[in-house]
């Protein structure tokens, strides 16, 4: 979502390269370009003014550290102010009541139903709580059935009712929650194309019957500044406790994320980053600010790895690396573990500096495409060939190329890179510099 904004901000800051100190004259053009970049990204004009004023005040009042250039110091200041605009500290989901009700509200098409399913999985897996789902959207055709199907996919208990009265459905769900001894109930409410009195009255009625511990607005990041107006409208009527920004993996310009907290005061609690059931991230202002400036997000990467990587398998692979016994079959297992983290390109962007580096290598094959090619090559090998790649003669390599839809030169390139990586990782492990992980080199 922030790729375009990142390019423009970093491009502006590069103009400070070589400057011995920060002065009003040498940051004037940089600030002007950053201001324009933020406005183009649909950031609220009041937020842009506050941000630029604070950056300027801090930059001119800072003594440049001896070990930092003016540009590096300025990046640090911009990072701190971006973090402030985004909310400063992480505000986590509160589900401490027994039972807790989490109400999702928002306009039609924002993604409430899919977010309800994703949030149930987050509460179950991350917070280790027994959670159930219910829909009171009796207006949108198949809305209830959609949530029921999503609940079945994630193995989440779902409350079904024959009633067409949202309040009666919630009353039945409350008794069901107590009977099932659930700790959290997520309620998916009806949306409209725009805020109207009837929708608000219905939400207030549900709210007065069972006060939610969390009332989360699900807002479409693609709406830009309009999402700020939507948030203000809901907040005035319902006293929102948090926001979920959806579709941030699309080509939204980022204005919503940078405007909504500063203008409304409502904390962003989650980001919807894809269609999959686990594509929901807790919102960390400091981490997003780092990503926006291509400073990486190593903490989120570590958390992803801890969640999806099989520790026993990783340790076994590390031992085989140390003994120089790592096979192509092991490498395939590593690729499949990486795929659980999401797109390979997305993972690389979490490493400091990789975002801009990847953009500089525009003519190279995209990482995800390269990984698919390598996976196809390996899967076209027999088990014997995967376990001992030295048996690959010319005829075998031709068969593998034909089977994987690649060229013999691609097969040769992979085997060469694998052999070099295997030697390198064996040396590293013997030196005690590694304890496991993924073997990367060259284009993979």
Q: Residue 171's pLDDT is what? A: 96
Could you tell me what percent of the chain has a pLDDT over 70? 78
104 located within any domain = yes
Rg value, the chain, Cα? 26
Per the model's pLDDT, the better-predicted residue between 88 and 105 turns out to be 105
Q: Can you give the CATH number for the domain in which 11 is found?
A: 1.20.120.140
Same domain, 267 and 354: no
User: Of 237-246, 253-262, 335-344, 432-441, where does mean pLDDT reach its minimum?
Assistant: 432-441
Let me know if 183 is exposed, middle or buried by CB neighbors in 10 A (0-12, 13-18, 19+). buried
Domain end position, chosen among 284, 319, 345: 284
Q: Are residues 117 and 196 in the same domain?
A: yes
Same domain, 268 and 157: yes
- Among 203-212, 317-326, 356-365, the range scoring the smallest mean pLDDT is 356-365
Q: Which of 74-88, 148-162, 415-429 has the highest mean pLDDT?
A: 148-162
Query: Do 235 and 344 belong to one domain?
Result: no
Cα 125 to Cα 358: distance, rounded to the nearest angstrom: 33
- Do 258 and 326 share a domain, yes or no? no
**Average per-residue pLDDT in the chain?**
81
Contact between 31 and 56 under an 8 Å Cβ cutoff? The reply is yes
Give the pLDDT of residue 167: 96
Question: 105 and 81 share a domain?
Answer: no
What is the domain extent for residue 42?
A: 3-85
The pLDDT-based confidence of 43 (bands split at 50, 70, 90) is confident
Q: Are residues 132 and 176 in the same domain?
A: yes
Residues 201 and 156 in one domain: yes
DSSP single-letter state for residue 368: H
Is residue 156 situated within a structural domain? yes
Among residues 157, 162, 202, the alpha carbon closest in space to that of 178 is found at 157
3-state SS class at 93: coil
Residues 206 and 334 in one domain: no
pLDDT confidence band for 1 (50 / 70 / 90): low
Residue 65 scores a pLDDT above 80: no
Distance CA 337, CA 360 (A): 27
| 237 class by beta-carbon count within 10 Å (0-12 exposed, 13-18 middle, 19+ buried) | middle
Tell me: pLDDT of 406 over 60: yes
Residue for token pair 């901000």: 9
Q: Count the Cβ atoms, other than its own, within 10 Å of residue 203.
A: 21
Same domain flag for 132 and 105: yes
| For residues 292-296, average pLDDT | 66
**Does the pLDDT value for residue 431 go beyond 60?**
no
| Spatial separation of the C-alpha atoms in residues 428 and 43, rounded to whole Å | 47
- Give me the CATH number covering residue 380: 1.10.260.30
What pLDDT is recorded for position 355?
55
Identify whether residues 278 and 321 lie together within a single domain: no
Q: Comparing 384 with 430, which gets the higher pLDDT? A: 384
Per-residue pLDDT at 34: 85
pTM of the model: 0.67
The CATH number covering residue 196 comes to: 3.40.50.300
Angstrom distance (rounded) from CA 146 to CA 419: 49
Q: What is each CA distance from 346 to 49, 124, 249, 284, 358, in whole angstroms?
A: 31, 25, 10, 17, 11
> Could you give the number of structural domains in the chain?
3
Q: At what angle do helices 225-238 and 197-209 cross, to 10 degrees?
A: 50
Q: Phi, psi (5° rounding) for residue 393?
A: -95, -175
Domain shared by 8 and 140, yes or no? no
* pLDDT recorded at residue 72: 73
pLDDT digits (tens, 9 = 90+) for 168-215: 999 999 999 999 999 999 999 998 777 788 889 999 999 999 999 999
Q: Which has the closest alpha carbon to 4: 39, 32, 30? A: 39
Amino acid 316: pLDDT: 74
Q: pLDDT class for 29, splitting at 50, 70, 90?
A: confident
Give the number of other CB atoms < 10 A from CB of residue 365. 13
Q: What is the pLDDT of residue 208?
A: 93
| Residue 391: φ, ψ to 5° | -80, -5
Residue 179 lies in a domain: yes
Q: For residues 13, 443, 410 and 313, what is the CA-based torsion angle, rounded to 10 degrees?
A: -150
């Amino acid at each position: 979502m922030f790729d375009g904004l990142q390019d423009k901000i970093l491009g502006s800051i590069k103009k400070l390269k070589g400057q011995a100190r920060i002065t009003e004259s040498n940051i004037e053009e940089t600030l002007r370009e950053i201001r324009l970049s933020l406005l183009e990204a649909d950031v609220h004009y009041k937020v842009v003014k506050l941000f630029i004023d604070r950056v300027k005040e801090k930059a001119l009042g800072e003594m440049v550290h001896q070990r930092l250039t003016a540009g590096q110091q300025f990046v640090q200041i911009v990072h701190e102010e971006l973090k402030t605009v985004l909310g400063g500290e992480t505000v986590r989901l509160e589900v401490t009541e027994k039972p807790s009700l989490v109400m999702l509200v928002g306009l039609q098409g924002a993604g409430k139903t899919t977010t309800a399913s994703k949030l149930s999985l987050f509460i179950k897996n991350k917070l280790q709580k027994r959670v159930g789902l219910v829909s009171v959207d009796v207006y949108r055709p198949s809305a209830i059935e959609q949530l029921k199907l999503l609940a079945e996919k994630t193995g989440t208990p779902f409350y079904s009712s024959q009633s067409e009265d949202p309040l009666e459905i919630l009353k039945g769900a409350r008794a069901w929650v107590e009977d099932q001894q659930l700790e959290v109930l997520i309620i998916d409410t009806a949306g409209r194309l725009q805020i109207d009195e009837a929708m608000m009255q219905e939400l207030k009625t549900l709210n007065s019957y069972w006060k939610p511990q969390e009332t989360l607005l699900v807002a479409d990041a693609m709406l830009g500044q309009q999402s700020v107006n939507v948030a203000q409208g809901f907040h005035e009527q319902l006293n929102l406790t948090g926001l979920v920004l959806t579709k941030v993996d699309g080509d939204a310009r980022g204005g919503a994320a940078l405007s909504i907290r500063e203008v409304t005061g409502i904390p962003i609690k989650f980001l919807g980053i894809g269609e999959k059931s686990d594509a929901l991230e807790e919102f960390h202002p400091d981490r997003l600010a780092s990503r926006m400036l291509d400073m990486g997000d190593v903490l989120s990467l570590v958390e992803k790895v801890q969640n999806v990587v099989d520790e026993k398998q990783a340790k076994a692979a590390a031992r085989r690396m140390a003994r120089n016994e790592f096979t192509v079959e092991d490498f395939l297992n590593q690729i499949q573990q990486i795929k659980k983290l999401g797109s390979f390109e997305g993972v690389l962007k979490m490493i400091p500096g990789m975002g801009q580096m990847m953009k500089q290598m525009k003519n190279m094959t995209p990482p995800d495409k390269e990984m698919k090619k390598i996976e196809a090559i390996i899967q076209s090998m027999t088990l014997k060939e995967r376990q001992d790649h030295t048996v690959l003669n010319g005829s075998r390599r031709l068969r593998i190329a034909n089977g994987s839809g690649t060229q013999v030169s691609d097969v040769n390139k992979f085997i060469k890179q694998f052999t070099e990586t295997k030697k390198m990782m064996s040396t590293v492990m013997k030196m005690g510099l590694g304890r496991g992980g993924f073997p990367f080199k060259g284009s993979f």
